[in-house]
Amino acid sequence: MRSQAEQTVRVMTWNIHGTLGRNPRFDLMRVVDLIRRWDPDIVALQEVDSRRALAGGANPFEYLAGAVGVYGIGARSVTGKDGDYGQMLVSRWPVRHHEIRDISFGEREPRRAIRAEIETPHGLLTVVATHLGLSIRERRSQAAMLTELAGGEAPAVVVGDFNDWFWPGSVRSVLSRVLRGRTRYRTFPSVFPLLRLDRIYCRPREALIGSFVDRSASALSDHLPVIADLRPGRA
């Protein structure tokens, strides 16, 4: 638990699905307990999947907002009779405005980006949360859309699972031009992390004052969560 006297915003991003056999029964409470351990102010969650909920269990799109924050925005990229699949952005502070942008590429899997203006005690913060595609051309197109969503000079954060492991023409090379602060942790696969898929980018660069990953999350997902402490007004 952090000291509430700290003038920081704690941001967390985590792909919670666990497609490599982690958390096969999709124990939502264990996911929530791990998130609460780090007391984040803003949480971006990818691969939220109500299709995996046990019969009679909580719908994660409805449950997660109140469990780990107050204000929740769900972006359902796949909807069917058996449930929904997508991502969420959850904040403990009010959301002044938000939009869900379709960033899908051609006939590939539907993808979304959530953009929210969050009224933090330290000023207005633009947050963009996303889960990008698997092909290089797809991610290049989506990276351009993310820079548009995070445009301007005001403090901004872009977070998520970027599925990005190449440098030339990569999402990293595009986003780091406009959001100079960034994390660089290896997060996938969680049991032996090799790839830096999950990241937090911010503007200004000096706003990023600390970050870390939680290795214990390997018991729940094939991705490790990234947690960062930001001071958005820092210049």
Residues 100, 131: contact at Cβ < 8 Å? no
Structure tokens at 197: 């898929």
- 3 state SS for 127-162: EEEEECCCCHHHHHHHHHHHHHHCCCCCCEEEEEEC
Helix intervals (H) in the chain: 28-37, 60-68, 136-149, 171-178
On whether residue 4 sits in a domain, the answer given is: no
Structure tokens at 112: 């979304």
pLDDT of residue 83: 79
State which amino acid sits at residue 38: W
For 154-172, what is the mean pLDDT?
87
On whether residue 53 sits in a domain, the answer given is: yes
pLDDT of residue 228: 98
Residues 159, 40: contact at Cβ < 8 Å? no
On whether residue 48 sits in a domain, the answer given is: yes
Owner of token pair 């889960």: 131
For 137-143, what is the mean pLDDT?
92
End-to-end CA distance of the chain: 26
- Which residues, at least 6 apart from 46, have a Cβ–Cβ distance to it below 8 Å? 13, 14, 15, 16, 17, 87, 131, 160, 161, 223
- Whether 4 has a pLDDT exceeding 50, the answer reads no
Structure tokens at 47: 């691969």
State which amino acid sits at residue 69: G
Element (H, E) at 18: none
pLDDT of residue 205: 95
pLDDT in tens, 10-69: 999 999 985 445 666 667 888 999 999 999 999 999 999 887 665 556 788 889 999 999
State the residue range of the domain holding 183: 9-230
On whether residue 97 sits in a domain, the answer given is: yes
- Whether 216 has a pLDDT exceeding 60, the answer reads yes
On whether residue 85 sits in a domain, the answer given is: yes
Strand-pair category, 226-230 with 71-80: unpaired
Confidence band (pLDDT; 50, 70, 90) for 5?
very low
Write the burial class of residue 7 (CB in 10 Å: 0-12 exposed, 13-18 middle, 19+ buried): exposed
For 97-118, what is the mean pLDDT?
93
Per-state percent for the chain, helix, strand, coil, to nearest 5 = 20, 35, 40
Structure tokens at 81: 């009779």
Average pLDDT, the chain: 89
Tally of domains within the chain: 1
On whether residue 3 sits in a domain, the answer given is: no
Q: What is the CATH number of the domain that holds 105?
A: 3.60.10.10
On whether residue 2 sits in a domain, the answer given is: no
